A = this chain, B = another copy of it.
Amino acid sequence: MTERVRDVNEDELLRRIFPLLPVGGSTQVGPGDDAAIVAAPDGRFLVSSDVLVEDRHFKTRWSSGADVGHRAAVQNFADIAAMGGRPTALVISLVMPGDTPVEWVEDLARGLAEACKPQRAGVVGGDLASGESIVVNVSVHGTLDWRDPVLRTGARPGDVVAYAGVRGRSAAGLALLDSGVIRPTHQHPLVKAYLRPDPPLEAGRRAARAGATAMLDVSDGLLRDAGRIALASDVRLDLDGAAFDDDRRVLSDAALVVAQSALRAGDAGELVGDIGQAEAANRLMNQWIWSGGEDHGLLAAFPEDVALPEGWTRIGQVHPPGKAAPRVTIDGRRPVVSAGWDHFEA
């Protein structure tokens, strides 16, 4: 019989989870007291928070507990990397129905631990509560190791726009699962990219050391997040339409499969309409590349004379803001794909 969280009391559940959680190199007092104590050697710390909601950000029939734990950790690490920092400690809050299998929770802890290990980050605390559906909140902490932070506000006209990480993979993996043509598996690279994103964390630190003027984690889609840098820095970003041709090659088969499946099901909506399969696949690919969320790549601006560090590719240029011009253009023109993910859109 599957053991459920309502079958064990809270203290017992914590006793089961604690040994699975990673102990970080910066942890001075770990879980089990009213608060944890974490080292902040340069006299300040980075903090950010991301919440994952069942059936919004993940489905338990696709993602294992370990997948959710991994994703929750690394998407938070990406926020720290986007400041130029190094993650040190996570605090986890977990809301779940009483019938959640204890095994699922233990699996979540293992996923967190696996993601934390290479970063030497620890889980230092958290909270448990019951609720209608699973909600996983991660607060991540990091250190800048005496470096200056890289904010969103520093991009200047003339800067080079660069990207680190993959584009569209997570969106493509999600679309494959959604279309029902493939079952959740870590064997398929796109599905794995969705279940277990792998943000270029070290590239964030390299960008900071190289003198990046602005940087952010692309979680809601490249166009939307580029718009955020543009707005914060009061500039315009012009992106190269050909920038992600390597990613296109990786995505093209999946785009065709998903387009075919959508055409068959007749549920493709405005995306497909009267256009052929090839054009439908092409539009899907554009959507994934420019608006797909959750790859957690990094977008940054660098001074023109800086040699881009390892892992970074030039994808555009920073311009002065235009009077009527959109904040983000592709090859000088207003993008025709939607900007990206909005959490409350109907």
Work out how many copies of this chain go into the complex.
Answer: 2
The digit string for A89-124, where 1 denotes a CB below 8 A from any CB of B, is 101110100100000000000000000000000001
How many chain A residues touch the partner (CB < 8 A)? 73
Choose, from A36-44, A183-191, A273-281, the stretch at the interface: A36-44
Question: Interface digits, A14-47 against B, CB 8 Å rule (1 contact, 0 not)?
Answer: 0000000000000011001111111111011111
Which of B34, B37, B43, B345 is the one whose CB lies under 8 Å from A41? B43
Q: Within the assembled complex, what's the spacing in Å between the Cα atoms of A40 and B131?
A: 34
B residues less than 8 Å from A141 (CB atoms)? 45, 47
Chain B CB within 10 A, most for which of A78, A130, A232 = A130
CB <8 Å contact, B6 and A49: no
Q: Mark A222-257, 1 if CB is under 8 A from B, else 0.
A: 000000000010000000000000000000000000
**A95 with B135: CB separation less than 8 A:** yes
CB pairs A–B below 8 angstroms (30 shown)? A6-B344, A6-B346, A9-B345, A13-B344, A29-B151, A33-B149, A34-B79, A34-B82, A35-B46, A35-B79, A35-B82, A35-B83, A36-B48, A37-B46, A37-B47, A38-B45, A39-B43, A47-B125, A47-B139, A48-B91, A49-B92, A51-B127, A51-B129, A53-B130, A53-B131, A56-B131, A91-B139, A93-B137, A130-B343, A135-B135
